Amino acid sequence: MHETCSISVLPDNRELIVPANAYLHEALDRHGISLTAYCDGMGLCGKCIVQIKLADESEPPITEADKKFLSEEEIENGYRLACQWRVVCNAEITIPEKSRVNHLNILIKDAGESPLELSSDFSSDRPYGFAFDIGTTTVVGSLVDYQTGKTVGVSSYLNGQQKYGADVISRISHSITGTGLDELNSELIQTINKIIDDVLNESSISPDKIAEIVLTGNTVMLHSLHKESMENMAHLPFEPSYTKAKNIFAAKMGIKIDSKTKLYSFPVVSGFVGGDTVSCMLATDMDKSEKKQLIIDIGTNGEVALGNKNGWTTTSAPAGPAFEGARISAGMRGANGAIEHVQITDDKMIIDVIGQQPPVGICGTGLIDIAAELLNRGILDVTGRINDIDELPDGTPDWLSKRIVDQNGENAFLLFDPDIDEYFKNGAEPKKIYITQRDLRELQLAKAAVATACDLILKHENIKLEDVCCVLLAGAFGNYLRPANARRIGLIPNVPMDKIHFIGNAASTGAKRVLVSQKERKRVERIAEEAGHIELAADPGFQMSYADQMFYPDGAVVL
Ligand code: FES
């Protein structure tokens, strides 16, 4: 065998020399080409698909994982899972867009928000500060001008840690392997550095003008930032290594900034309720509110907080990555080509595709929409089963019932058919897209986790749903949801629509407030310290509630 092999990467037109016998996804990664690898290369997610043409024109080997995720036609055309193939000879690799970790750079000059109110207790001898929200998926950094309180630059990248798995559980698992924690830390610091670099270059501001960097994020992200052990977060009672806020010089952590720039990172509540939730609670003034608020942040790990000025409690639910498209047969992130919204009218399917292009898959919001629509039409029953055609309600139009098809002995729903449905014809001819019974089961598991967190926190606090003044949906995913559909499938509580509000990226807002106020900093530390916490998995009511929440609501909604 050769010691190194040459790989031509298309459509990038790059020639790479890689060590022989390396797994392809790792070899590409070392050259800065990151593939979507939700399962950390274990062959479980089926998202790292590439087309391989071997130089000797032989067929690349086919593994069981390839057979599980690829059609016969794809296998015949040389498509394989990159994490399953070891580079043993020279080859040409074509990477489909949907297999790439996208660079989501959304650098903008002005975030268009209203300026922050500068607190009277605040002073700085330097004119700018950075506020970061470190998400498991995306990292967002905002540059704030202390004079005006305005955000003068923002940049966002996918978190470089994604190659080690999509959710916090896989990151924890990776952190406890040999050099795992160092690798997670290095990826995160590199992502932060790219953002700082972008924003400073774009705004022509030098690093010595930055007084401080404030960072918030979930507990796993903050632990990986500080290289704190996550061993005790891998098992009950999921104890973090630390909970208090940290003050340090940023450059000491490998952040490429001036040596005197300080860094403040948020306190956390527990292993799975982190600084981002605390930041949302600050941004919504939960600790000052007369009425009880319920904050829900839907993501791979769903966090829920309930409270008012008299006290607040938090919990979290491992929803898994279904809302990000993982473990869904045609699932993908909310990127170009993803079906993000679906509507079934009396005579057709209407799909909205991100980027207004031919659809290539479906993202979490689209999945919620289609489940809600199928429930409304009686195609999906309350147990989550796709009905047979002869079980459909009277009056179901023919064109709709014909979309129920058999796939491997189970019903599936034909969501998109290029021969029938309307779509933007400005790209490659799309393929049919199905929603399978298994996809809907994955959604059920994810929505039941979040719904159980809401149910148990209300029960613990002895609060009736009608006594909650508002349900506040936080996070990027929450922003794109159709709340009526999220409510229809039971993902969020059944409250009147006028009580449901989006609070956008409240974690970033909270971080910015802390950046310009010592008072807010004290508040945030008090919120974290005094927060009650329910460990869902250890709660005696958990099993019962989770089993209940697995059902879809019968459709009676509060108007
Ligand atoms: S299947 Fe290859 S990374 Fe998940």
pLDDT at residue 213 is higher than 60: yes
State how far the Cα of 394 lies from the Cα of 450, in Å rounded to an integer. 33
Paired sense of beta strands 532-534 and 468-474, if any: unpaired
pLDDT at residue 263 is higher than 70: yes
Q: State residue 321's pLDDT score.
A: 76
Q: Which residues contact 250 (CB under 8 A, 6 or more apart)?
A: 213, 257, 261, 262, 263
| Exposure string for 453-464, b = 16+ CB within 10 A, e = fewer | bbbbbbeebebe
Q: State residue 31's pLDDT score.
A: 74
Question: Per the omega criterion (within 30 degrees of 0), is the bond before 11 cis?
Answer: yes
Q: State residue 344's pLDDT score.
A: 95
**Amino acid letter, 51:** Q
- Tell me which residue of 456, 167, 219 sits closest to 314, measured CA to CA: 456
pLDDT digits over 345-363, tens only? 999 999 999 888 899 999 9
Contact 377, 349 (CB under 8 A): no
- Once rounded to an integer, what is the mean pLDDT over residues 397-411? 96
3-class secondary structure, 362: strand
More confident residue, 273 or 158: 273
pLDDT at residue 364 is higher than 60: yes
- Tell me which residue of 247, 168, 181 sits closest to 215, measured CA to CA: 247
User: Among 94-103, 111-120, 429-438, which is the least confidently predicted range?
Assistant: 111-120
Cα–Cα separations (whole angstroms), residue 48 to 55, 288, 375: 21, 47, 32
Q: State residue 107's pLDDT score.
A: 31
Stated pTM of the model: 0.80
Q: State residue 40's pLDDT score.
A: 64
Q: State residue 1's pLDDT score.
A: 55
Residue of 33, 39, 101, 161 to test ligand 1 pocket, by largest number of atoms within 8 Å of CB? 39
Strand segments (E) across 198-273: 210-217, 246-249, 262-265
286-321+444-508+535-549 — its CATH code? 3.30.420.40
128-265 — its CATH code? 3.30.420.480
3-state helix vs strand vs coil in the chain, percent to 5: 35, 25, 40
pLDDT at residue 384 is higher than 80: yes
pLDDT digits over 16-28, tens only? 888 888 889 888 8
**Amino acid letter, 426:** N
Q: How far is the CA of 67 from the centre of ligand 1 (A)?
A: 13
For residue 206 the two structure tokens come to 């030098």
Q: Is 41 in the pocket of ligand 1 (CB under 6 A)?
A: yes
pLDDT at residue 112 is higher than 50: no
Q: How far is the CA of 36 from the centre of ligand 1 (A)?
A: 8
Q: State residue 156's pLDDT score.
A: 86
Q: How far is the CA of 371 from the centre of ligand 1 (A)?
A: 26
Share of the chain above pLDDT 70, in %: 95
Q: Is 46 in the pocket of ligand 1 (CB under 6 A)?
A: yes
Contact 144, 511 (CB under 8 A): no
Q: State residue 115's pLDDT score.
A: 67
Q: How far is the CA of 422 from the centre of ligand 1 (A)?
A: 32
State how far the Cα of 194 lies from the Cα of 268, in Å rounded to an integer. 25
Question: Residues 500, 504, 506, CA angle at the centre, nearest 5°?
Answer: 105
State how far the Cα of 231 lies from the Cα of 428, in Å rounded to an integer. 46
Domain with CATH 3.30.420.40 in the chain: 286-321+444-508+535-549
pLDDT at residue 93 is higher than 70: yes
More confident residue, 493 or 11: 493
Per-residue pLDDT band for 275 (boundaries 50, 70, 90) equals very high
pLDDT at residue 557 is higher than 80: no
pLDDT at residue 182 is higher than 70: yes
Q: Is 37 in the pocket of ligand 1 (CB under 6 A)?
A: yes
Question: Residues 85, 87, 91, CA angle at the centre, nearest 5°?
Answer: 105
Where does residue 378 rank: exposed (0-12), middle (13-18), buried (19+ CB within 10 A)?
middle
Q: How far is the CA of 22 from the centre of ligand 1 (A)?
A: 15
Q: How far is the CA of 266 from the centre of ligand 1 (A)?
A: 33
The DSSP-derived string for 75-129 is HHTTEEEGGG-B--S-EEEE--GGGB-------BS---PPPPPPPTT---SSSEE
Q: First-to-last CA distance in the chain?
A: 68
pLDDT at residue 548 is higher than 90: yes
Contact 37, 48 (CB under 8 A): yes
Q: How far is the CA of 40 from the centre of ligand 1 (A)?
A: 6
Q: Is 267 in the pocket of ligand 1 (CB under 6 A)?
A: no
- Tell me which residue of 439, 419, 430, 402 sits closest to 338, measured CA to CA: 430
Per-residue pLDDT band for 480 (boundaries 50, 70, 90) equals confident
Share of the chain above pLDDT 90, in %: 70
Q: Is 35 in the pocket of ligand 1 (CB under 6 A)?
A: no
**Shortest-distance Cα residue to atom 1 of ligand 1:** 43
Q: Is 245 in the pocket of ligand 1 (CB under 6 A)?
A: no
More confident residue, 15 or 231: 231
Cα–Cα separations (whole angstroms), residue 352 to 52, 334, 343, 370, 427: 32, 12, 9, 12, 16
State how far the Cα of 312 lies from the Cα of 537, in Å rounded to an integer. 20
pLDDT at residue 105 is higher than 70: no
State how far the Cα of 124 lies from the Cα of 31, in Å rounded to an integer. 41
pLDDT at residue 282 is higher than 80: yes
Q: Is 47 in the pocket of ligand 1 (CB under 6 A)?
A: yes
Domain with CATH 3.30.420.480 in the chain: 128-265
**Amino acid letter, 335:** A
State how far the Cα of 357 lies from the Cα of 248, in Å rounded to an integer. 46
Q: How far is the CA of 31 from the centre of ligand 1 (A)?
A: 18
State how far the Cα of 377 lies from the Cα of 385, in Å rounded to an integer. 13
Alpha helices, H only, 490-541? 506-515, 518-530
pLDDT digits over 16-66, tens only? 888 888 889 888 877 767 787 766 677 877 888 999 999 998 999 999 999
Domain with CATH 3.10.20.30 in the chain: 4-99
pLDDT at residue 254 is higher than 70: yes
For residue 384 the two structure tokens come to 């989550």
State how far the Cα of 241 lies from the Cα of 73, in Å rounded to an integer. 49
Q: State residue 124's pLDDT score.
A: 83
pLDDT at residue 376 is higher than 80: yes
Q: State residue 30's pLDDT score.
A: 73
One of 3.40.50.970, 3.10.20.30, 3.40.630.30, 1.10.357.10 is the CATH number of 4-99, namely: 3.10.20.30
pLDDT at residue 334 is higher than 60: yes
